Amino acid sequence: MPQLLKRLAFQVGSVPNERTTTFTSISNDGHHISLRPLVNLNSTSEEEFPFEWVFAGLNTGVRVVPISEGVVEQDFNFWLDTNCYLNLPNTHRGEVKTIWTQWDSGSVAENGEVFPNGPDNPGVPFFELWHPLDPNRVEQVLLNDPLTTAEATKARSIVFKVREGQGYDGLVIVTGRWAQGFLSKQGDATVDGLNFLRTIELEDGSREALVLYGSDAEKFPQEYLGYESGAHVEVHGLKWDVIESN
Amino acid sequence: MPQLLKRLAFQVGSVPNERTTTFTSISNDGHHISLRPLVNLNSTSEEEFPFEWVFAGLNTGVRVVPISEGVVEQDFNFWLDTNCYLNLPNTHRGEVKTIWTQWDSGSVAENGEVFPNGPDNPGVPFFELWHPLDPNRVEQVLLNDPLTTAEATKARSIVFKVREGQGYDGLVIVTGRWAQGFLSKQGDATVDGLNFLRTIELEDGSREALVLYGSDAEKFPQEYLGYESGAHVEVHGLKWDVIESN
Q: How far apart are CA B221 and CA B179, in angstroms?
A: 10
Torsion of CA B205, A139, A33, A185, to 10 degrees: 160
Q: Is pLDDT above 80 for B147?
A: no
Q: Cβ atoms within 10 A of the Cβ of B176, count?
A: 23
Q: How far is B127 from chain A (nearest CA, A)?
A: 10
The answer, yes or no, to whether residue B155 has pLDDT greater than 80, is yes
Phi-psi sector, A51: left (phi>0), alpha (psi -120 to 50), beta: beta
Residue range(s) of every CATH 2.40.128.320 domain in chain A: 3-152
Residue B84 has what DSSP assignment? Answer: H
In 3D space, the residue among A51, A52, A76 whose CA is nearest the CA of residue A63 turns out to be: A76
- Could you tell me if A38 lies within 8 Å of chain B, comparing CB atoms? yes
Location of each CATH 2.40.128.310 domain in chain A: 157-245
Closest chain B residue to the Cα of A109, Cα to Cα: B17
Residues of chain A with pLDDT > 90, as a percent, come to 95
Look at B20 and A105 and tell me if their CB atoms are within 8 Å. yes
Query: How confident is the model at residue A149, as a pLDDT?
Result: 80
For the domain covering A3-152, report its CATH number: 2.40.128.320
Whether the CB-CB separation of A179 and A224 falls below 8 Å is answered with: yes
Band (B209; pLDDT cuts 50, 70, 90): very high
Amino acid identity of residue A67, one-letter, is I
What CA–CA distance (Å, rounded) separates B3 from A175? 31
pLDDT band at B116 (very low <50, low <70, confident <90, very high): very high
Q: Which residues contact B142 (CB under 8 A, 6 or more apart)?
A: A6, A139, A140, A141, A142, B106, B131, B132, B133, B134
Q: How many CB atoms within 10 Å of residue B138?
A: 15
Comparing alpha-carbon positions, the chain A residue that sits nearest to B139 is: A141
Helix residue spans in B106-221 (DSSP H):
146-153
CA distance B163 to B238: 8
Residue A146's H or E segment, with its range, is: helix A146-152
> Which residues, listed in sequence order, are joined to residue A54 by a DSSP beta bridge?
A35
Residue numbers in A near B103 (CB within 8 A): 17-19
| Per-residue model confidence (pLDDT) at position B144 | 81
Q: Closest Cα of chain A to B181: distance in Å?
A: 21
CA distance A152 to B73: 40
Q: What is the CATH number of domain A157-245?
A: 2.40.128.310
How far away is chain B from the Cα of A129, in angstroms, using its nearest Cα? 9
Alpha-carbon gap: B243 to the closest alpha carbon of chain A (Å): 32
A233 near A240, Cβ under 8 Å?
Answer: yes
Neighbours of B131 (CB within 10 A): 23
The answer to whether A20 contacts chain B (CB < 8 Å) is yes
> Would you state the pLDDT for residue B149?
80
Whether A105 and B39 lie within 8 Å, measured CB to CB: yes
ipTM for the complex?
A: 0.95
Q: What confidence tens digit (pLDDT) does each residue in A45-62 have?
A: 999 999 999 999 999 999
Q: Which CATH number fits domain B3-153: 3.10.129.10, 2.160.20.10, 1.10.940.10, 2.40.128.320?
A: 2.40.128.320
Q: How many helices (H) and strands (E) does chain B have?
A: 3, 17
Compute the distance between CA of residue A46 and CA of residue A26 in angstroms, rounded to an integer: 26
Query: Residue A72's pLDDT is what?
Result: 98
> For residue A145, what pLDDT is reported?
73
Predicted confidence band at B150 (pLDDT cuts at 50, 70, 90)?
A: confident
Phi and psi angles of residue A177, each rounded to the nearest 5 degrees, phi first:
-80, -10
Mean of the per-residue pLDDT values of chain A: 96
Instruction: Tell me whether residues A142 and B6 touch, CB distance under 8 A.
Output: yes
- pLDDT class of B19 with cuts at 50, 70, 90: very high
Which of B37, B161, B229, B9 minimizes the C-alpha distance to A18?
B9
Which positions in chain B touch A20 (Cβ < 8 Å)? 104-105
Q: Is the dihedral of CA B36, B40, B41, B42 positive or negative?
A: negative
Which pLDDT belongs to residue A78?
95
Partner-chain contact B8 A144, CB within 8 Å: no
Minimal Cβ distance to B107: which of A8, A104, A144: A8
pLDDT of residue A235: 98
CB contact under 8 A, B141 and A140: yes
- Among positive and negative, which fits the CA dihedral A3, A24, A131, B15? positive
Within 8 A of B16 by CB-CB distance, chain A residues are 16, 109, 127, 129
d(CA A66, CA A99): 10
* Mean pLDDT to the nearest integer, A178-206: 97
Chain A closest-CA separation from residue B141 CA (Å): 4
Residues B98, B79: contact at Cβ < 8 Å?
A: no
Taking only residues 65 to 124 of chain B, the set having a beta carbon closer than 8 angstroms to any beta carbon of chain A reads: 103-105, 107, 109
- Flag whether residue A3 sits within 8 Å of chain B, measured between CB atoms: no
Interface test with A, best of B23, B107, B139 (most A CBs within 10 A): B139
CB pair distance less than 8 Å for A131 and B8: yes
A40 and B9 within 8 Å at the Cβ level: the answer is: no
Per DSSP, which regions of chain A are E strands? 3-12, 23-26, 32-37, 51-57, 62-68, 71-76, 80-81, 96-102, 108-114, 124-133, 157-162, 168-175, 178-185, 194-201, 207-213, 232-235, 238-245
Say which amino acid occupies B196: F
Average confidence (pLDDT) over A89-115 = 96
User: Taking CB atoms and an 8 Å cutoff, what residues of chain A touch B141?
Assistant: 139-142
Query: For B103, which of A18, A105, A134 is closest by C-beta distance?
Result: A18
Three-class DSSP category at A61: helix
At residue A43, the pLDDT reads 97
The gap between the terminal CA atoms of chain B, to the nearest Å, is: 10
Question: Are the C-beta atoms of residues A221 and A172 closer than 8 Å to each other?
Answer: yes
Strands B23-26 and B32-37: antiparallel
Q: Rounded to an integer, what distance in angstroms lies between the CA atom of residue B241 and that of residue B219?
A: 13
* A104–B39 C-beta distance less than 8 A: yes
